[in-house]
C-alpha cells in the first residue's frame, strides 16, 4: 500500500512539474493555453484556438525539451539504482564504471574535431554523430572496466570499482587535454556540455535517444527480482541458481545504453543517479522490483524540476542543469552521510 502511495505521489508530482515547466520560462505562458495546446496536439480539441506564438514556443521548444528531460532523468535514475544493486554499494552510480567519463571523452573529441577531420561526417550524420560517438565511448569504457575486473573469468565487484576509478581518471585527463587545446568557441561548447544542459533539445534529439532509453527503461526493472538476490551476496545468489556474471554484464550493458545515450545529448548531469535511488529506498524499502521503476519515475521528476529552475531563476539566461542538480543534491547527500555516521556511532 505504501509503495502504491509513493507511485501516486511521484506521478502526481511529475504532472504538476510538467505543467509549470511548460508554462514558465523566458516567455510565461498561461496555464490555460498550455492545456489547450496539449489537448490540441493530443487530438482532443483539434479546433481549439490558441495564440500562435504560445503554440510555436510550446511545440518547437518546450514540449520536446520536457520529453527529453523525462527520458534522461528516468535513464539516470533507473541506471543508478541498478548499478548500486549489483555493486551492493549505495555510493555507486553509472559514472563509477566509466560510463559517463567515456561518453564525455568521445563527445569532447567530436566537438574539437568537428570543424576539421569530422566535418564531412558531421554534415552527413548530423546530431547522430555525437549520439553514436558518446554511446561508443561509454561502451568502450564500460567494457574496459568489465574486462579489467575479471578474476578467474568472473568479474569482481571491488576490482570493478577500482578499474572504474582508473578509467575515469584517464578519460578525465584526456578530456582536460582536449579542452586545453580547444579554441574559444569549442571551449565554450565543451564547458557548457560538461556541466549538462537540455538547451539542445528538439524533436530530432528526442527521436535520436528515445529508442535506446525506452528499451533500457523496460529491460532494467525486469531484472529487479534477480537483483534482490545480490543483496544476499554473490555466492548465495549463485546457490539460488542465478548466473551472476550474466546479470552483471546485462546490467552494465543496459546502463551503458541508457546513460551513454543521455550523456550524448545533455552532457554530464551528476547526482541524479546517486541520490534518487537513495531517496526511493528511504521512502519505501529496498525491494528492487519497486526501487528500479520508482527511481525512473523520481529521476524524471527531479530532472524536469531542475530544468525548470535552471530556466527560470536567471531568465532570460539559463543555468547549466548540472549546476542545479549539484546544488539540490549536495545538501541531501551530506544529510545522508551525517545520518549514517550517527547510526554507526550508536
Tens of pLDDT, residue by residue, the chain (346 residues):
678 899 999 999 999 999 888 888 778 888 888 888 888 877 777 677 777 888 888 888 889 999 999 999 999 999 989 988 887 777 677 777 777 788 888 878 887 776 555 556 556 666 677 777 877 888 888 778 877 877 766 667 677 778 888 888 888 888 888 888 777 777 777 776 777 888 777 888 888 889 889 999 999 998 888 888 877 777 777 777 777 778 888 888 888 888 888 887 888 887 888 888 988 988 888 888 999 999 999 999 999 999 888 888 877 777 888 888 888 777 777 776 777 666 655 5
pLDDT at 109: 81
pLDDT at 205: 84
pLDDT at 304: 92
Taking the C-alpha atoms of residue 338 and residue 242, their distance in angstroms, rounded to an integer, is 36
Q: Pull the grid cell for residue 216.
A: 533500457
pTM of the model: 0.85
pLDDT at 45: 72
pLDDT at 345: 55
pLDDT at 265: 82
Sign of the four-CA dihedral 22, 23, 27, 29: positive
Least Cα distance to 269 among 314, 312, 302 occurs for: 302
Taking the C-alpha atoms of residue 184 and residue 112, their distance in angstroms, rounded to an integer, is 11
pLDDT at 219: 93
pLDDT at 286: 85
pLDDT at 145: 81
Q: Pull the grid cell for residue 82.
A: 541498478
Amino acid at each position: 500500500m505504501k509503495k502504491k502511495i509513493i507511485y501516486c505521489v511521484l506521478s502526481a508530482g511529475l504532472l504538476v512539474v510538467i505543467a509549470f515547466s511548460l508554462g514558465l520560462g523566458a516567455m510565461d505562458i498561461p496555464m490555460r493555453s498550455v492545456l489547450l495546446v496539449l489537448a490540441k496536439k493530443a487530438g482532443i480539441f483539434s479546433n481549439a484556438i490558441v495564440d500562435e506564438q504560445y503554440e510555436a514556443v510550446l511545440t518547437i521548444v518546450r514540449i520536446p525539451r520536457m520529453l527529453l528531460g523525462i527520458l534522461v532523468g528516468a535513464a539516470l535514475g533507473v541506471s543508478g539504482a541498478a548499478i548500486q544493486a549489483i555493486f551492493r554499494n549505495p555510493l555507486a552510480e553509472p559514472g563509477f564504471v566509466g560510463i559517463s567519463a567515456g561518453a564525455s571523452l568521445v563527445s569532447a573529441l567530436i566537438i574539437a574535431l568537428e570543424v576539421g577531420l569530422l566535418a564531412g561526417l558531421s554534415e552527413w550524420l548530423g546530431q547522430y554523430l555525437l549520439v553514436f560517438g558518446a554511446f561508443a565511448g561509454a561502451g568502450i569504457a564500460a567494457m574496459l572496466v568489465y574486462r579489467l575486473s575479471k578474476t578467474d573469468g568472473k568479474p569482481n565487484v571491488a576490482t570493478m570499482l577500482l578499474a572504474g576509478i582508473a578509467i575515469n581518471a584517464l578519460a578525465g585527463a584526456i578530456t582536460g587535454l582536449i579542452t586545453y587545446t580547444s579554441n574559444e568557441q569549442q571551449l565554450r561548447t565543451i564547458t557548457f556540455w560538461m556541466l549538462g544542459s537540455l538547451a539542445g533539445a528538439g524533436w530530432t534529439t528526442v527521436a535520436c535517444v528515445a529508442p535506446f532509453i525506452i528499451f533500457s527503461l523496460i529491460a532494467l526493472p525486469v531484472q529487479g527480482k534477480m537483483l534482490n538476490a545480490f543483496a544476499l551476496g554473490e555466492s548465495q545468489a549463485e546457490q539460488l541458481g542465478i548466473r551472476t556474471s550474466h546479470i552483471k554484464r546485462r546490467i552494465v550493458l543496459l546502463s551503458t545504453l541508457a546513460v551513454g545515450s543521455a550523456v550524448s545529448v545533455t552532457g554530464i548531469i551528476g547526482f541524479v543517479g546517486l541520490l534518487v535511488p537513495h531517496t526511493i529506498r528511504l521512502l519505501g524499502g529496498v525491494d528492487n522490483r519497486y526501487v528500479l521503476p520508482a527511481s525512473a519515475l523520481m529521476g524524471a521528476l527531479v530532472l524536469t524540476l531542475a530544468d525548470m529552475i535552471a530556466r527560470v531563476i536567471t531568465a532570460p539566461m539559463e543555468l547549466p542543469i548540472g549546476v542545479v542538480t549539484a546544488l539540490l543534491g549536495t545538501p541531501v547527500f551530506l544529510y545522508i552521510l551525517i545520518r549514517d555516521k550517527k547510526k554507526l556511532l550508536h
